[in-house]
Amino acid sequence: MRDILVVVGYAGLVGLSAQLAIRLPFTPVPITGQTFAVLLGGLAVGTRRGTAGMLFYLLLGLVGVPWFAGGQQGISMLAAPSFGYVVGFVFAAGLLGQLARRGFDRHPLTVILALVAGNAIIYLFGAAWLAWRLHLGASQALSLGVTPFLVGDALKAVLAAALLPVAWKLTGRTRGEELPRPQ
């Protein structure tokens, strides 16, 4: 039961943070709080629960829960230039859970490295989808879908690192506790 609550809570946190959305006039990708929530939760809840939480988030958003950026929802999101970032959340959460299991969540430097890796996964999926949907070259996709967000995402990563002990408490984990190996 606890695992289900953690998965639903993680998805809910990302959905709630997605409502903090600022549209920029020069890119179809908004600034949101999602990345912060994905990074924090991914390190805190582990591989299985993190991946499940982000799959739950993605699937419920596609069937109509208005919790993508700015309340967007539905199957039409598959055509949105920014949908690749949501797909990247699933893979980033899984990677962050794996890194936490390997001890990357136990020292400030490795926490930051893990969060940078998680962000890189999100950017990879997001920029690739953006390029595909808008028929952009790599340089344009980076300038529209990565570069404008680097400073903000660095700040989100620092905040996520600082709040990681709080997230552990909310998920029932303690600092340094080994995460179980995924089955």
The two beta strands, 21-22 and 31-32, are antiparallel
Mean pLDDT score of the chain: 91
CA distance 51 to 91: 7
pLDDT at res. 18: 95
Prediction pTM value: 0.90
- 166: which residues sit within 8 A by CB, 6+ positions away? none
82, pLDDT greater than 80: yes
pLDDT at res. 53: 97
134, pLDDT greater than 80: yes
Least confident range from 72-76, 90-94, 145-149, 160-164: namely: 160-164
